[in-house]
């Protein structure tokens, strides 16, 4: 393989420290400096990569040591070919993962950084403390001595005096300060019930990202950031997962937008045709598609629009008579009989499955999933093992169809969200990351 780019990992002690703001600003600032920047996301988050793409102008990919084996991790890493620098964004805190080992690790950002050879830049919220922040930084630096630690970016600094005291602590601890960001209330991305709002819904995303980049350029040593970037050996070139069909009608709009980028890239690379259509615009899937795939998203926010989409519903019914349809999470709910929104209003869905779900009483479902298929689904035969991630607030009121899979959490405990199969139609609550063929 020719030159493989160096990289670094933007992480934090915990969620909510401002690392996404730093990540987006850094991606855009480096791009504005003329670099080709390859973003990555550590862990199973499927909202952040769309923001990364908006900031860097290059598709972002997930690296997940719990869900992915070495072959798939190499295949995903290979997507950085041709970039000048890689920037990874961690999930949760740097060392946070699950308790039971998965395909190649426990799913922590530290594992991703170690595997990639990326030094860690730790974003620390120093609000309410000064020199004490250095103890946090030192603990993270020393927790795993094998992990390269580049330094810290101080966030939400209240005043020049606050910055001076905090820097004194970092100097005493031998921790390099790469930047210091003054407290600003306008730097948070809008939130919604699943965390961040989707990139496609942000009222003025381009202006926001440009603002983050200007803010970082003023307060972070970008030359130092570029200098600390490093990498392990170049990955062995591998192919991404193959497509489940040749012509795939893919629902694509504000209600259906969550598909892992490495899957779509693998489908395209293998020669599959992706045929986008919008249920919200009452578009039917292409009549010559071999498969209809409904990704996750927010159908519960568009219940009335989907209920009125007669053309979409008829097209789905026509396709399902002879050819496969599959839905994930929000897509699974939209394939059901009805969806009840948070106000208690019942909306008719596609009716291809008997599933009825409700958001009236929110119940949080979050975590990795390992599923043993009890019946075939597009791309996989009965008995295959799939790995994915579940993240939603809906409650099942009725699930009358045959279960698609035996589903377990990361520790191997069974979960009740088995998915469904009825005729040519299948659905799961988890978003597929990878599968092991039986």
Q: For residue 438, what pLDDT is reported?
A: 54
Q: For residue 1, what pLDDT is reported?
A: 46
- C-alpha neighbours within 13 Å on the C-beta side of residue 429: 28
Question: 193: pLDDT confidence band, cut at 50, 70 and 90?
Answer: very low
pLDDT tens digit string along 335-368? Answer: 999 999 999 999 999 999 999 999 998 888 899 9
Question: Of 27, 329, 405, 425, which is the active-site residue?
Answer: 329
Q: For residue 46, what pLDDT is reported?
A: 84
Q: Between residues 206 and 362, which one has the greater pLDDT?
A: 206
Q: For residue 52, what pLDDT is reported?
A: 96
Would you say residue 192 has pLDDT above 90?
A: no
| Cβ–Cβ < 8 Å for 90, 12 | yes
Would you say residue 195 has pLDDT above 70?
A: no
**What's the rounded mean pLDDT across residues 10-22?**
94
Would you say residue 191 has pLDDT above 70?
A: no
Q: For residue 261, what pLDDT is reported?
A: 95
| pTM metric for this prediction | 0.95
> Beta strands 291-294 and 325-328: pairing type?
parallel
Q: For residue 276, what pLDDT is reported?
A: 98
Query: By CB neighbour count within 10 A (0-12 exposed, 13-18 middle, 19+ buried), where does 172 fall?
Result: exposed
**What's the rounded mean pLDDT across residues 297-324?**
97
Percent of the chain with pLDDT over 70: 95
**What's the rounded mean pLDDT across residues 148-156?**
97
User: Can you give the length of the chain in residues?
Assistant: 438
Q: For residue 187, what pLDDT is reported?
A: 67
Q: For residue 362, what pLDDT is reported?
A: 82
Radius of gyration of the chain, Cα coordinates, nearest whole angstrom:
22
Residues ≥6 apart with Cβ < 8 Å to 378:
244, 245, 291, 293, 324, 326, 426
pLDDT tens digit string along 63-76? Answer: 999 999 999 999 99
Q: For residue 71, what pLDDT is reported?
A: 96
**What's the rounded mean pLDDT across residues 148-162?**
97
Average pLDDT of the chain is 94
**What's the rounded mean pLDDT across residues 275-299?**
97
Q: Strand pairing partners for 42? A: 63
Phi-psi region of 315 (alpha: psi -120 to 50; beta: other; left: phi over 0): alpha
pLDDT tens digit string along 92-124? Answer: 999 999 999 999 999 999 999 999 999 999 999
- Whether residue 329 lies in the annotated active site: yes
Q: For residue 92, what pLDDT is reported?
A: 95
Question: 200: pLDDT confidence band, cut at 50, 70 and 90?
Answer: low
Q: For residue 365, what pLDDT is reported?
A: 86
Q: Between residues 188 and 347, which one has the greater pLDDT?
A: 347
Q: For residue 194, what pLDDT is reported?
A: 47
d(CA 44, CA 390): 9
Question: 291: pLDDT confidence band, cut at 50, 70 and 90?
Answer: very high
Can you give the chain as a three-state secondary structure string? Answer: CCCCCEEEEEECCCCCCCHHHHHHHHHHHHHHCCCCEEEEEECCCCCHHHHHHHHHCCCCEEECCCCCCHHHHHHHHHHHCCCCEEEEECCCCCCCCCCCCCCCCCCCHHHHHHHHCCCEEEEEECCCCCCHHHHHHHHHHHHCCCCCEEEEEEEEECCHHHHHHHHHHHHHHCCCEEEEEECCHHHCCCEECCEECCHHHCCCHHHHHHHHHHHHHHHECHHHHHHHCECCCCCCCCCCCCCCCCEEEEECECCECECCHHHHHHHHHCCCEEEEECHHHCCCCCCCCCEEEECECCHHHHHHHHHCCHHHHHHHHHHHCCCCEEEECHHHHHHCCEEECCCCCEEECCCCCCCEEECCCCCCEEEEEEEEECCCECCECCCCEEEEEEEECCEEEECCCEECEEEECCCCCECCCCCEEECCEEEECCEEEEEECC
């Amino acid at each position: 393989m020719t030159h493989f780019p160096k990289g670094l990992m933007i992480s934090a002690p915990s969620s909510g420290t401002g690392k996404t703001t730093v990540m987006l600003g850094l991606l855009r600032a480096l791009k504005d400096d003329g670099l080709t920047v390859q973003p990555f996301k550590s862990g199973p988050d499927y909202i952040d990569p769309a923001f990364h793409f908006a900031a860097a102008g290059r598709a972002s990919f997930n690296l997940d040591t719990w869900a992915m084996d070495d072959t798939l991790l190499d295949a995903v890493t290979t997507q950085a070919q041709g970039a000048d620098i890689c920037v990874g964004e961690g999930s949760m805190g740097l060392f946070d993962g699950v308790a039971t080992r998965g395909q190649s690790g426990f799913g922590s950002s530290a594992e991703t950084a170690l595997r990639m050879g990326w030094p860690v830049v730790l974003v620390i919220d120093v609000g309410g403390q000064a020199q004490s922040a250095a103890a946090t930084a030192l603990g993270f630096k020393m927790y795993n001595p094998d992990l390269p630690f580049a330094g810290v970016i101080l966030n939400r600094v209240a005043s020049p005096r606050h910055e001076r005291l905090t820097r004194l602590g970092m100097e005493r601890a031998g921790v390099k300060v790469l930047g210091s960001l003054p407290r600003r209330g306008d730097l948070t991305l809008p939130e919604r019930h699943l965390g961040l709002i989707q990139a496609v819904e942000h009222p003025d995303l381009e202006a926001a990202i440009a603002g983050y980049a200007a803010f970082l350029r003023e307060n972070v040593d970008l030359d130092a950031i570029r200098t600390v970037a490093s990498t392990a050996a170049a990955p062995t070139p591998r192919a991404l997962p193959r497509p489940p069909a040749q012509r795939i009608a893919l629902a694509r709009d504000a209600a259906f937008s969550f598909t892992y980028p490495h899957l779509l890239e693998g489908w395209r690379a293998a020669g599959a045709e992706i045929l986008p259509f919008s249920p919200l615009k009452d578009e039917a899937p292409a009549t010559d598609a071999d498969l209809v795939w409904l990704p996750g998203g927010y159908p519960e926010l568009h219940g009335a629009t989907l209920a009125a989409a007669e053309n979409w519903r008829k097209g789905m019914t026509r396709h399902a008579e002879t050819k496969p349809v599959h839905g994930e999470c929000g897509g699974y709910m939209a394939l059901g009989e009805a969806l009840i929104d948070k106000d208690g209003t019942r909306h008719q869905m596609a009716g291809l499955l008997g599933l009825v779900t409700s958001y009236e009483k929110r119940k949080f479902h979050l975590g990795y999933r390992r599923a043993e298929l009890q019946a075939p689904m597009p791309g996989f035969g009965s008995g295959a093992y799939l790995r994915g991630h579940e993240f939603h607030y809906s409650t099942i009121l009725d699930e009358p169809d045959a279960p698609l899979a035996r589903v377990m959490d990361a520790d191997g405990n069974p979960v009740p969200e088995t998915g469904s199969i009825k005729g040519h139609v299948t659905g799961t609550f988890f978003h597929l990351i990878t599968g092991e063929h039986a």
